[in-house]
Structure 1
Amino acid sequence: MGLLLSDAKAESQQLDHGEFIFDQSQTPPALPQFRWTPIQLPDNWDLSHPFRGGFGWYRFSLTLDHSPDDLWAIYLPHLSVNARVFINGQLVGSGGSFTEPVSHNSYRPLFFVFPGLLLHAGENQIALNLLGYAQEESGLGTFQIGPATALKPTYNSLYFRAVIVPTISFTLLLLLSFILFIIWLRRRHETLYLMFALCGGFCTLYTAVFFIQEVPWLTHHQWLWMELTAIMCYIYCLMLLIHRFVKVQRPSLEKFFLIYTIVGPFLILLIPPPYLFRGFGLLGLGYSAISLYILFTIYRYRHQCLPSETWLLFFSILFSALTGYHDLAYMLHAQHEIPVFIFYWGSTILGIAIAFLLLLRFDRSLILFETLNRDLNSMVAEKSRTLAQSYQERQTLEMRQAVFGERERIMRDLHDGLGGYLVSALVQAERHPPLLVPLQQTLRSALEDLRLMIDSLDGDPTDLATQMGSLRERLESLMESSGAVLHWQVEDSPRLPFPSTSNTLQLMRMVQEIFTNIAKHSHACHVFFSVGAHHLEIRDDGEGFDTVTTRPGRGLPHLYRRAQQLGITLHISSSSLGTTLHLTW
């Protein structure tokens, strides 16, 4: 029970032999020697004190020949659930609250620094008060006492593995789970992201046990129940994740294990607290079977995924399953040493592996998208070139058709206009050689029609005002020769519904024909011409005619036909006071 150090500055020493007693005292109890039980560390209460829990006291003796003058420390690597330490009756360190909600130090080392002067030459008593629970692997592992500088590196190393690493794992998995959950909200059909988010969420809840020391509102057994339930939910969600990953449909099996996952933990709530830990251990046997099923499923459907994905997933789950079997063995069979649970290492590695696989899939999707985008750009460029070429060919064809159409129009106008006049002149010359006046008149008409054609080809088909201005001089000469005065008024620049050189020529011919008829038949003294944006009106004060009883010749039907071809409306009204022709469009 005692340890002798001849030099106060000696290296740290490990304490593993002492005495133990269950006692509710808040300070080291002064009880008779016979009531203390010799104990050797590590001490697992499930073996040394079955179905016992509460406050236990350990005491150890340390003999020194000098009182140290530097800082010393007590380093407790493994204990459950909480502890406080006294040196020669004086409190030097505590792990936190000993009343509900208690402080949890089952998975984190404790390090208490104290002045070396608390130790005196001769025998020193080290008392340790431990809070533990029945049948939950409570107890104390071997611990060390010595100079703080000598123990600190060992403590820092274990603290990093037991507290810092789970904290980092918790943060990364929580962040990744949140990101994937957001992705799932935007892509509800991709349930793979939801399954990973749930796996990460339950895994972070379990991992929090290793670094959270103070748990508000929850009692120890409530916190333990939530921790172990989170493991069960994590394994169930992992099965769903693998089903989605390898594209396997097993709804009946998923429903069965869903009921198993929900009902099992709630049934455990009905049993007494000392059996809670072992109850979850028995329940965990079903999840060990799930892990074997998951490994079998991955291997069986390995051809549905890339080989790199399959084997990375297989070995990461195998590693996670082995860590789970390790912890399950501690839960079902008590060992002499205080258990060190390592399943969070397996779940963390598995989470990283699955996240890496999802990133690989995302990277492949991105590469595929870039390839498709590049191919699409090439197709668009090719189609654009083809379309441009087709458009150019169409323009060439339309231009050629326009040239052919204009050529046909000119030929038709020459045939119907100038050709007709020349034929008439030839017939007059052959039949009546001495009659020069009719021949001159026919040739003059042919010349006027030729001028109309040239004006229509030379001008802008949309600029009717200019075209009519060119026609005005000839019409005035015609009216003067017939003894009439022309009154010309342009209200606005007219524009036909379908402007073209051909339609402009047809309109000019209609106007010319109307004035020719006025000169021949009306005996008018005044002729009024007015044109606006959407109308044209020609009015004279001649003799007029009855539009109902007068037998029409070829002139009026010809005018109506031309108006219909141009898409305009021709209205003729006549009386003894004169005749009015009104064109509208």
Structure 2
Amino acid sequence: MPRLLGSLGISLAVVLVLAVLVSLVPGQVFRPIEGARIFDRVSVCPFGGSGCQPGQSPAPAALPFHLRSDHGDGIHMARFTLDFARTGPADGVTAVFLPRFSDAISISVNGDRLTPAPWLSGDGRNFHHWHRPFIATLPNAGLKPQGNVLAIDLAADGFQDISLYPLYVGDAAALDFAFQLAGIARVGSARVNFSLVMLAGSALLIFWVMHRRDMIYFWLAAASLASAVVCYHWVYPNLITNYRSWITFWNFAAAFQIWCTLSFVCILLEAPCRRFRLVAIALLAAGAAGLCLLHPDVFRLGLAVYQLGFLLLTLLMLSTLVLHRSATPALNFGVLFGLYALALALAFGQWISRHILPDWAPALTSTLIPVVFILSLLWVIFFQLARSIARYENLLAALQSTINDKTAELQATYSRIARQDKIQAIDEERQRILLDLHDGIGGQLVNMLAYMSTQPKQDKVLETAIEDALRDMGLMIDSLEAGDSIATQLGLLRGRLEPLFARHHVDLAWQIEADPHLPGAGPSQNLTLLRIVQEAITNAVRHAQASRITIAASCQSISVTDNGSGFEPSSPERRSAESGGIGLTGMHRRARAIGAELIIESSTAGTRVDLSWDRPWGNAPAS
């Protein structure tokens, strides 16, 4: 409640300041017109349709002059008279120009009526001319050079004021131009406003039909069509013959326009005001129905209260804007609040002029209210369009980001599939090579050994070479089949060397702490590592006559230790490959190729071959 009262106070203060500023705007200025005389003083006879009643004499009156009826039923009238002189030659034309009056008019000159009395026609729709200027031409042939009497009869419904403002008599051509300008400023602008709000209402209604979920456009369309009814009152004869019924309907249209605008504001700000809106429209409808039932004498008072009620509703709408201003951008809040506050200030000024202080606010400000409403419509349409474009751009950016992410995922998937296809192709080729080695070369070597075993003369050197070739081929097959597990490949190597160990009575000891893993490991690197280990084992069995060999392994090292006769590592004959092995030089070369360090220690008690790769791949010693 404190927040509501605070927002209400802010809104009221702004509206009052604007209303005071509007009242300071100069009203209609009746400037002299060349070739015509301005009259701002007349004689008036109230309640006399054809002159002052018996016992009455005309009373002088200064213009503007306002006359209010003591009763609300029927029609009250007044006659205003003045004396004027003929303008121009006898064959010329004189005109009478009334920029503003209320409510219906008929004039006579020298007792001859020049225009009919609309209140006598019985057609109430054409009775009211309060928003239109008036001009009548007077042929100079029927005028006296001096002392012509112009009688202006004005009539209005009992709840309307009779009003007359300064008027002109003079040259018809000059006054006709002034009449056209006044018509453009009043009737012309009202017609433009009527056309614009009708067009806006129809367009918004069509747009809502196309986007029914967005109720903003529905309420703006309804407010525009209600505003069209308000503007219609200033342009065309009233739709309902009974003027009191028409005025009631017209005021309800203005109230309904405000209620629809309130509905738009509530939806825009997502404010919880549904119950308040229902109560408000119920009160507005009940108030309009009550106006129809009021006694004519209190209809004017009831109309003033009803108008004050929907002005209060406008103030509450402004308070809603202030209370929920954080729900919309500051610029949108500022524009809407400023325009709606200005419209309320203009309407409040007209209410004061109508019911309390005549001419407190300039009369033309009433035609500015639809203009302000049209400006608010244009702003809302522009803002909604800009917000829709921003949402579209954000959605487009989000979709583009999603597309980019999905494209990257697809590319990664395609790359992964390509790698998998490549791995599968390599694996299939590897299996083909394994089969070729095993069934082709392997089978031929086995057949050669079998053939040699049947010959009476044995060639041990050739037999050993064939066995070494078989073991080397076995290493190749194991490195391809076992994958990256060096421990598994060592186990396979042990199985292939078992015949050699058995033939030379060698005991093999295993100390495998962890599966060794070379940086950048692959079948080629693992095969090179196993060849070094195999060379160390073969040297221990064949050349050092070792009876015990120990193979130890950790994550970053493999060692081969034997209890053989030992050798001198720097001996040239042991660094060569004449004995059928690759020699120490070849072992060092292979160690460098896989980024490992090879250390060989030998004595009469045995030999130790250490292979470690604690440095990153590719940074092998340069020795």
Question: Which range, TM-score by smaller chain?
Answer: 0.5 to 0.7
1:37 matched to which residue of 2? 58
Q: Which residue of 2 aligns with 1:198?
A: 222
In structure 2, C-alpha distance between the alignment counterparts of 1:172 and 1:138, rounded to whole Å: 31
**Is the CA contact (8 Å cut-off) linking 2:69 and 2:76 kept in structure 1?**
no
Quick one: which of 19, 39, 43 aligns to 1:18? 43
Seen in structure 2, the aligned counterparts of structure 1 residues 172 and 249 have a Cα distance that, compared at 3 Å, is same
1:105 aligns to 2:129 (yes or no) = yes
Q: Deviations over 1:173-194 (max 9, x none)?
A: 2222233233333433433322
Three-state SS of the structure 2 residue aligned to 1:135 is coil
Counterpart among 289, 305, 309 of residue 282 in structure 1: 305
Alignment partner of 2:233 out of 209, 212, 222 = 209
Q: Give runs of aligned pairs for residues 324-363 of structure 1, distance below 5 A.
A: 324-333=347-356, 335=358, 340=363, 342-363=365-386
1:397 corresponds to: 420
- Residues 70 and 115 in structure 1, CA contact (< 8 A), matched pair in contact too: yes
Change (3 A) 1:51 1:74: same
Q: Residue 20 of structure 1: SS of its match in structure 2?
A: strand
What is the match of residue 168 of structure 1?
Answer: 192
Shift of the 385–71 alpha-carbon distance from structure 1 to 2, 3 Å rule, reads farther
Structure 2 SS opposite 1:198: helix
Q: CA deviation at 1:63?
A: 3.2
The answer to whether the aligner puts 1:245 opposite 2:268 as a matched pair is yes
* TM-score, structure 1 as length reference: 0.62
Residue 382 of structure 1 deviates from its aligned partner by: 5.4
Q: 1:327 to 1:31 in 2, by over 3 A?
A: closer
1:339 shift after superposition: 8.9
Structure 1 residue 269 displacement after superposition:
0.5
- Long gaps (5+) in structure 2: 1-33, 457-623
1:186-227 C-alpha deviation (Å, 9 max, x unpaired): 433433322222222222211211112x33553322221111
Name 2:291's counterpart in structure 1. 268
User: Which one of 320, 327, 340 corresponds to residue 317 of structure 1?
Assistant: 340
Q: Is the 8 A contact 2:81 2:149 kept in 1?
A: yes
Q: Aligned Cα RMSD in Å?
A: 3.8
Shift of residue 17, structure 1, vs aligned partner: 0.7
* Residue aligning to 1:82: 104
- 2:393 partner amino acid: E
1:102 aligned counterpart, secondary structure: helix
SS in 2 for 1:99: coil
> Secondary structure of 1:210's partner?
coil
Equivalent residues in 2 for 1:466-477 (5 A)? Answer: none
| Secondary structure at the counterpart of residue 120 of structure 1 | coil
- Give 1:337 shift: 9.7
Cα distance in 2, alignment partners of residues 101 and 428 from structure 1? 136
Q: Distance in 2 between matches of 1:44 and 1:30?
A: 18
Query: How much has 1:272 moved relative to structure 2?
Result: 3.1
Q: Which residue of 1 aligns with 2:143?
A: 119
| AA partner of residue 140 (structure 1) | L
Q: Which amino acid aligns with 1:376?
A: L
Q: CA deviation at 1:398?
A: 0.9
Residues 49/218 of structure 1: CA separation in 2 closer, same or farther (3 Å cut): closer
Most deviating of 329-338 and 390-399: 329-338
Aligned to 1:380: 403
Query: How many Å apart are 1:270 and its aligned residue?
Result: 0.6
Which residue does 2:532 correspond to in 1?
none
In structure 2, the CA distance between the partners of 1:86 and 1:408, relative to structure 1 (3 Å rule), is same
- 1:131-530 pair list within 5 angstroms: 131-212=155-236, 214-216=237-239, 218-333=241-356, 335=358, 340=363, 342-381=365-404, 383-385=406-408, 387-388=410-411, 390-409=413-432, 411-412=434-435
Name 2:583's counterpart in structure 1: none
Q: How many residues align?
A: 420
What is the alpha-carbon distance in structure 2 between the residues aligned to residue 248 and residue 177 of structure 1? 24
Deviation (angstroms), 1:168: 1.7
| Contact 2:83–2:149 (8 Å) recurs in 1 | yes
Q: Distance in 1 between matches of 2:362 and 2:66?
A: 9
**Secondary structure class of the residue paired with 1:312:** helix
Per the TM alignment, residue 260 of structure 1 is displaced from its structure 2 partner at its CA by 0.9
Q: Which amino acid aligns with 1:158?
A: A
Q: Flag the 1:55–1:146 CA change in 2: closer, same or farther, 3 A.
A: same
- In the alignment, residue 388 of structure 2 is paired with which amino acid? S
SS in 2 for 1:136: coil
Seen in structure 2, the aligned counterparts of structure 1 residues 422 and 58 have a Cα distance that, compared at 3 Å, is same
Q: 2:84 aligns with which of 58, 62, 67?
A: 62
Query: Is 1:44–1:337's contact at 8 Å kept on the other side of the alignment?
Result: no
Report the CA distance between 1:249 and its aligned residue.
Answer: 0.8
Q: Distance in 2 between matches of 1:396 and 1:172?
A: 68
Check conservation: 1:68, 1:117, Cα contact below 8 A. yes
Determine whether 1:128 maps to 2:166. no
Structure 1 residue ranges without an equivalent (≥5): 1-8, 434-585
CA contact (8 A) 1:132 1:139 kept: no
C-alpha distance 336-368 of structure 1, shift in aligned 2 (>3 A): closer
The structure-2 alpha-carbon separation of the partners of 1:99 and 1:320, relative to structure 1 and needing over 3 Å to count, comes to same
Per-residue CA distance 1:34-77 (angstroms, 9 max, x = gap):
55533524343316888662555443322348655433322122
CA distance in 2, matches of 1:109, 1:241: 37
The one-character-per-residue Cα deviations of 1:545-575 (angstroms, maximum 9, x if unpaired) are xxxxxxxxxxxxxxxxxxxxxxxxxxxxxxx
Structure 1 distance, partners of 2:306, 2:423, is: 89
Which amino acid in the other structure matches residue 37 of structure 1? Answer: P
Conserved? CA contact 2:94–2:140, under 8 Å: yes
Distance 1:338 1:156, change over 3 A: farther
CA contact (8 A) 1:87 1:118 kept: no
In the TM superposition, what is the alpha-carbon distance from 1:325 to its structure 2 partner? 1.5
Q: Distance in 1 between matches of 2:366 and 2:408?
A: 62
Q: 1:65 to 1:184 in 2, by over 3 A?
A: closer
Question: 3-state SS of the aligned residue for 1:248?
Answer: coil
After superposition, give the CA deviation of every residue in 1:95-144 in whole Å (9 maximum; x if it has no partner): 96842233131112122334343423232122333331112123433322
Distance (whole Å) between structure 2 residues aligned to residue 338 and residue 66 of structure 1: 38
Is structure 2 residue 53 aligned with structure 1 residue 53? no
Secondary structure in structure 2 of the residue aligned to 1:145: strand
Q: 1:288 & 1:141 partners in 2: Cα distance?
A: 28
Q: Distance in 2 between matches of 1:337 and 1:369?
A: 49
Query: Cα deviation per residue 1:304-353 (whole Å; 9 max; x = unaligned)?
Result: 33222222222222211212222222343364899937444234314412
Q: In 2 relative to 1, CA 256–372 (structure 1 residues): closer, same or farther, beyond 3 Å?
A: closer
Residue 354 of structure 1 deviates from its aligned partner by: 4.6
Match of 1:272, as an amino acid?
H
Alpha-carbon contact 1:47-1:334 (below 8 Å) kept: no
The one-letter code sitting in structure 2 at the alignment partner of 1:53 is: I
